[in-house]
Structure 1
Amino acid sequence: MSATGLQPSKLGTKEHWDNVYDEELQNFGEFGDEGEIWFGEDSVDKLVNWALQNVPPKNDLSILEVGSGNGTLLFALAEAGYTADTLLGIDYSEGAIALASSIAKSRNREGIQFHCCDFLNEEPPLLTNTRTVDGAAWDLILDKGTFDAIALMQKDNHGKAPIDGYPLRVARLLKPGAHFLITSCNFTEAELQDKFMTPATGLRYHSRIPYQTYTFGGRSGSICSSVAFVKPAAT
């Protein structure tokens, strides 16, 4: 699906996501329902497999998920062998953090850190053993739908869209040689490349994750796109 002409919507408001996660937190407390898995379990499996192949587990890794929601992706990484102290999830909704933390406790995954953080305006906290390189802290940054939500936010008083500053912020936080893996249902692979591969970010295309394609009205496409970028290593 092309993102051309996207208009602001409630999906781009903090109030909406606070309401969603407050309800999911209540459902988890009453019924043990962990909440929705964005893009489905198959997508999570594909993202984990990509990580295993390209950023395999080791003790000094630092992995950040922006907009971690109920923590599904980070729990899957932990199940695949990534140690809890290498994983951090941030979300600007306190309800999301409360939900993910509650699920972590129920799964005995309390070592995974979840923090309330507005990625566009605040610095993510560092993991205990994080080794920074020129101020950059992360070996892998993950985004599963957060960029989509930011694209639906209202412009600020100066007419600037919040989404515009996101790619440069990601690039700044990546260590040299580190990766950014994004999954989107609003942006095509080509559009993601246009937004993240700019002279300002310096990011380069690394790889893509294939999904099943569908044909409708003579046009073919996937329901979502997962694209990985890499920050060139220092020379």
Structure 2
Amino acid sequence: MSSTDLPPSKLGTKEHWDDVYSHELANFAEIGDEGEVWFGEDSVEKMVDWALDNVSTDPAPYILEVGAGNGNLLFALCEAGYAPEKMCGVDYSADAVKLAQAIGRSKASSAAAESEGHEELPALAKADKITFAACDFLQEEVPRLEGMEGMEGQEFGPAVWNLVLDKGTFDAIALAGKDESGRAIADRYPARIGRVVKPGGMFLITSCNFTEDELRARFATSDTGLFFQ
């Protein structure tokens, strides 16, 4: 399936997601509601389980989520034992970033309070150490985390992430329609993913609009440099 086979939808527009996260940010500030878990908790659990089976926590990998929304996947990875200071979630909605940051602070504060008197802090006590940043992934470079510049043997380029995650982001981009030149906007996405995955690193994607074979055809190409295990 080509992304052009999917009719454009409001789900593929920045305006829609800005509106969604503006409301969810207000709700979190008012009643503490963290917002919707896109694709559900089961999807988050499956992605975390896959990561634990395939990506070691020691040494701690650099993890990037594209289209992080409210950050629920990265918080789950933090709770599973991955180093929060080496995680980054990017989203083109500024309010999504503000929401994820606010949730991170709340989780860290709650975890620290609950563990008062214990010698060891729970993993989520450092949830506020996860970096969330506003970034239009199709056009802008992903911000770097502290320590990346000094990685031994690593050239100063964008391919620095050991694990790159997509939980429905490609699905949304595939509904964005075409650019001014008539090219499907989603056609630019796989190559951008290929640019940020470190050699030997992994890309994990969850989709409800595309089959495994369709994702293989999209992402495992000479343009991306990615291949399926």
Q: Scaled by the length of structure 1, what TM-score is found?
A: 0.84
Offset of 1:202 from its aligned partner?
2.3
Contact 1:2/1:186 (<8 A) preserved: no
Q: Which residue of 2 aligns with 1:126?
A: 144
Q: Which residue of 1 aligns with 2:18?
A: 18
- Write out per-residue CA displacement over residues 131-189 of structure 1, whole angstroms, 9 at most, x where no aligned residue: 37342211010000000111011311111111111111111111111000000111111
Which aligned runs of 4 or more in structure 1 are off by greater than 4 angstroms?
1-4
Q: Which residue of 2 aligns with 1:111?
A: 129
Offset of 1:5 from its aligned partner?
2.2
Tell me which moved more, 126-135 or 174-183. Answer: 126-135
Q: Which residue of 1 aligns with 2:70?
A: 70
Contact 2:60/2:82 (<8 A) preserved: no
Q: Which consecutive unaligned segments of at least 5 residues does structure 1 have?
A: 207-235
Structure 1 position 201 matched with structure 2 position 224: yes
Q: Which residue of 2 aligns with 1:162?
A: 185
Q: Which residue of 1 aligns with 2:212?
A: 189
Q: Which residue of 2 aligns with 1:210?
A: none
Structure 1 position 31 matched with structure 2 position 31: yes
Contact 2:3/2:184 (<8 A) preserved: no
Q: Which residue of 2 aligns with 1:138?
A: 161
Contact 1:59/1:86 (<8 A) preserved: no
Greater share of residues in strand:
1
Q: Which residue type is aligned with residue 133 of structure 1?
A: Q
Q: Which residue type is aligned with residue 96 of structure 1?
A: A
Q: Residues of 2 paired with 1:178 and 1:38: CA distance?
A: 25
Q: Which residue type is aligned with residue 42 of structure 1?
A: D
Q: Which residue type is aligned with residue 40 of structure 1?
A: G
Q: Residues of 2 paired with 1:72 and 1:200: CA distance?
A: 31
Offset of 1:110 from its aligned partner?
1.1
Identical positions, percent: 59
Q: Scaled by the length of structure 2, what TM-score is found?
A: 0.86
Q: Which consecutive unaligned segments of at least 5 residues does structure 2 have?
A: 109-126
Q: Which residue type is aligned with residue 187 of structure 2?
A: D
Q: Which residue of 2 aligns with 1:216?
A: none
Q: Residues of 2 paired with 1:33 and 1:58: CA distance?
A: 33
Contact 1:3/1:186 (<8 A) preserved: no
Offset of 1:2 from its aligned partner?
9.2
Higher relative contact order (CA 8 A, sep 6+): 2
Contact 1:11/1:152 (<8 A) preserved: yes
Q: Residues of 2 paired with 1:64 and 1:12: CA distance?
A: 21
Q: Residues of 2 paired with 1:201 and 1:7: CA distance?
A: 25
Aligned-residue CA RMSD in angstroms? 1.6
Offset of 1:203 from its aligned partner?
1.2
- Write out per-residue CA displacement over residues 30-84 of structure 1, whole angstroms, 9 at most, x where no aligned residue: 1111011111111111100110111121354210000000000000000000111
Structure 1 position 172 matched with structure 2 position 195: yes
Offset of 1:87 from its aligned partner?
0.6
Q: Report how many aligned residue pairs link the two structures.
A: 206
Greater share of residues in helix:
2
Q: Which residue type is aligned with residue 56 of structure 1?
A: S
